Chain A
Amino acid sequence: MSDLKRTPLYDLHVALGAKMVPFAGYEMPVQYKAGVMKEHLHCRAAAGLFDVSHMGQVILRADNPEVAKAALERLIPQDVLGLGEGRQRYGFFTNDAGGIEDDLMFANRGDHLFVVVNAACKDADVARMRAGLEPDVTVKLLENRALLALQGPKAEAVLAEHHPSVAEMRFMDVATVPIAGAECWVSRSGYTGEDGYEISVPLAAAQELAQALLAHEDVEAIGLGARDSLRLEAGLCLYGHDIDDTTSPVEGGLTWGIQKARRSGGDREGGFPGDDRILSEMQKGADRKRVGLLPEGRAPMREGTVLFAVADAETPVGTVTSGGFGPTVGAPVAMGYVDAAHAEIGTNLFGEVRGKRLPVSVAKLPFVAAGFKR
């Protein structure tokens, strides 16, 4: 445990009664006193505060901002050049085989790009960006900022008490906003399926900001346990589970995240790692697809559950990559990969749980409608 890192909110988590666990090299709160179920439901009903300071915050800068944008397009299949100032996009680093190395958020903050990557991948991502972008672009991993997420239907009202301008932001807008006396970089986004904000805050001000937000009666601290069930109900991928270096964006159902300019026939078609496979799969379809899965019974189908087309089949047709109980759905929910022939919504399959083949059907994602302010 001794080599685990701590976020600037560590003491606050402990004071709030969090159960701390190792996650991606950090000691992180998996839950607080209320427990996963109540935390999950609170976030959907009011507002939840998440410490996501373990994630990597990276600045990409070049003398000419257009150079940095064009350079990033060499590493990801997203339209970076077309992203307006003050806007953010979801993206993913691909590899030469068309798999996904990590997913990310990137924002156009005028004279630089601000990138947020997963904690477990951040060292590899920084190395990838240095190798792929330097010397024209400088890549700086920020060690002096924390990252908080305020999520839920009351998030806007809560944060607007600190600065009214945040209420004017639309989904995926980014802005610099003074909150609690600190220069915060705010985006209207998150990973719960709810409306809300992610707030990058200087380390020295992080604890004060967290306490100020938690002081509001509508806000509770939410741990990684509920973060996982919230994102699962929202149909959002967890890197290393639902997507990895072998899954293509087409298999992963993420082609909505590849803008027209980078697709076949687009102004800047291809030109990213794995473009041959990815563009070809976008035309012809992939052999397997990520789908939502609704077990019919009450037994959760967890990651690794093997899926079959019929109850007595010998050959599997897929595997669950994330699964558990959905507190808002009130039933088990899962997602996973199935052969394309079995990916249609409504297809009846069987998942093997403790030696029994239990019925499960392919379902539309997300399981809970998104509350974004578009």
Chain B
Amino acid sequence: MKFTEEHEWLRVEGDEVVVGITAHAAEQLGDVVFIELPEEGTVVSKDDEIVVIESVKAASDILAPLDGEITEVNEALVEEPSKVNEDPEGEAWFFKLKIEDMSALDDMMDEAAYKKYIG
């Protein structure tokens, strides 16, 4: 897995990456109560705000970690936002992104670097 400074994790599956938020981010957010996902097929640029996630405390955005096309979204999260707190780095993935250039992941943090980043 790779990690961003925005507390997303990315897992490579073929020419796609599966994207979610880290356990650390989920804990900081608190109980998640609402999620709005992008449309499948949306072409996004890095840092576009593509997911709205609201916890009991506040609303925040999840940014596109890379340029690409949204190929699939996890609709189950819309019905059960609490999955983000229960299994943030497994079942609660947000979307799959088809990207042109997998080498862009090389610059991202690995797990050890991310752990250091969050201190």
Residue ranges of A at the interface with B (Cβ–Cβ < 8 Å): 31, 35-38, 225, 229, 298-300, 302, 324-325, 327, 332, 354
Contacts and interface: CB of A to CB of B under 8 A. Distances in A.
Which 7 A-B pairs have CB atoms at the shortest separation, nearest pair first? A37-B31, A325-B33, A36-B56, A298-B34, A299-B34, A35-B31, A325-B56
Contact of B36 (A37, A225, A299): A299
30 contacts: A31-B30, A35-B30, A36-B30, A36-B56, A36-B57, A37-B30, A37-B31, A37-B56, A37-B82, A225-B56, A225-B57, A298-B33, A298-B34, A298-B78, A298-B81, A299-B34, A299-B52, A299-B54, A300-B33, A300-B34, A300-B59, A324-B56, A325-B33, A325-B34, A325-B54, A325-B56, A327-B31, A332-B33, A332-B34, A354-B52
B56 A229 contact: yes
Which secondary structure dominates chain A's binding surface? mixed
A300 B54 contact: yes
B48 to A, nearest CB: 14
Contacts of B81: 298
Interface residues of B, number: 14
A324 B30 CA distance: 13
A276 B88 CA distance: 57
Contacts of A229: 56
A320 B82 CA distance: 25
Contacts of A325: 31, 33-34, 54, 56
A231 B13 CA distance: 46
Contacts of A300: 33-34, 54, 59
Given A38-B31, A299-B54, 14 more contacts: A35-B30, A35-B31, A36-B56, A37-B56, A37-B82, A229-B56, A298-B33, A298-B34, A298-B78, A299-B36, A300-B33, A300-B54, A324-B56, A327-B56
Interface string B52-77: 10101101000000000000000000
Nearest to A30: B57
Contacts of B82: 37
B31 A36 contact: yes
A225 B52 CA distance: 21
Contacts of A38: 31
Nearest to B36: A299
